[in-house]
Amino acid sequence: MGRSNVGKSSLINSLVRQPVARTSSTPGKTRLANVYRVARGAGTPFYLVDLPGYGFARGGSDDFQAITRAFFGQDRLDLAAILIVDSRHPGLRSDSAAWRWLHSTVDLSAVVATKIDKLARGQRIRALRELESVFDAPVAPVSAVTGEGLDELWKLMDRLANNRSPRSSSPRRATGPRHQKK
């Protein structure tokens, strides 16, 4: 998830190297939760969900609120979230608010800074340092245009997909001591 026009759909297209998601230079393009099943080699298959962005007044925010709340409200899913931010705009209030909300709602979350191709080397280092301080978390730099950082993003998603959330493991713990390791 992330602000409208930050490049969420473009990032999905670059990750899978196919134009599966619709993108636009104007905000508010993605209006529904678009779900993609990702199966790669021996990795655990998972669903990648492209959500509408926030911060776009004409309809976009409403779509975002309703769809995002409905989506993350589903207790039975093993959910992980990636917040996508624009590497050129560290510290936006809407991004900080989204990160706080994600933290309180989803067990596994990470931050990715996109459009890194738009920054020169020195600016990148400064922007990443600032972003990591704002979010108090590691921030992975990527570009949907140049493909930079996509390998690392795949690894991050594999880690999130393989990490079982406490919520999903609690029913197994409740089945009793016979499942405990000796």
Closer to Mg ion by CB, 22 or 88: give it. 22
For residues 163 and 69, give the distance between their C-alpha atoms in angstroms, rounded to a whole number: 22
x/- map, 126-155, ligand GTP, by CB under 6 A: -----------------xxx----------
Alpha-carbon Rg for the chain, nearest whole angstrom, is: 17
How are strands ordered across the β-sheet holding 139-141?
A: 80-86, 108-114, 139-141
Instruction: Check binding of 14 to Mg ion (CB under 5 A).
Output: no
Among 30, 68, 114, 143, binds Mg ion (CB under 5 A): 30
Tokens of 154: 């795949």
Among 46, 48, 53, 82, binds ligand GTP (CB under 6 A): 53
For residues 19 and 50, give the distance between their C-alpha atoms in angstroms, rounded to a whole number: 13
Q: CB 131: neighbour CB atoms within 10 A?
A: 24
Tokens of 123: 């600016």
Cβ atoms of 105 and 72 within 8 Å: the answer is yes
Instruction: Check binding of 109 to ligand GTP (CB under 6 A).
Output: no
Instruction: Check binding of 77 to ligand GTP (CB under 6 A).
Output: no
Please choose which of ligand GTP, Mg ion, none residue 90 contacts, taking the beta carbon within 5 to 8 angstroms, the exact cut-off set by kind: none
x/- map, 32-51, ligand GTP, by CB under 6 A: --------------------
Residues in the site for ligand GTP, rule: CB under 6 A?
A: 2, 4-10, 23-25, 27-30, 52-53, 114-115, 117-118, 143-145
